[in-house]
Chain A
Amino acid sequence: MIDLRKSDPQFKWEIAKREGGEGLLKCFGCSDCAASCPVRYFDERYNPRKIIRFTLLGMKDIVLKSPFLWFCAHCHACTERCPQGIRVAELINAIKNYAVEQGYCPDGYKMQLDLLMKMGRLYEVEDFDLKKRQRIGLPPIDKTIPEVAKILESTDILKVLKK
């Protein structure tokens, strides 16, 4: 049961004014997004409609703490089909960004950032890989890309994630 006394009436406005969140208020709950979603097809716990409706009701805690918010695969099937023209995938993105700002970020994303900062890649390049490349006639690549760390430093992402 949800007690709307705990809801934050400003939450939907916070999301709606963000980049990608503009369409939020247009949702009339047809659930075409959920019906189109390939992720939901495999895992029913993920449901874009519910994320949007909880956001509209101002249930900040439920939305931001939910691990399922992060399941979106960004295939944009929902965006194509939404009858109200909401860019649903981008809307989910906007909610994610807001969640991160509020300090709700899954550990996996933090680890990915650490890897990028350390070597500029998500996957480590080992000698095995270099040998394999040589065998099929490809030039060697750098094990680390320090420029990526510089780029990341110039954005706000480190500040935001440290929160």
Chain B
Amino acid sequence: MQLSIEEVKRIARLARLAVTDAEADAMRAQLASIFGLIEKMQAVDTSSIEPMAHAQEVAQRLRADQVTESDRHELLQRGAPAVEAGLYLVPKVIE
């Protein structure tokens, strides 16, 4: 499968990854060989098979609806690039 540079850039945009035309072109060839490998899946008829999402078929545990976590925002925000007054700072999004 051959992707166009435009398709690579569209996927990169969906993934929020900046790519230059040169990078997109280089990735195109590598992605083509990887998708060549992945295409081997299509040779097998799987129409009667249930998808398997997980190794262990276990149900999610439920717990009582009670507060179990303490407020640790100061600690957890220490590794963030820009914080002020307990808030994450980002560029302005509303004019």
**Are both chains from one complex?**
no
Enumerate chain B interface residues (CB-CB to A < 8 A). Answer: none
Enumerate chain A interface residues (CB-CB to B < 8 A). Answer: none
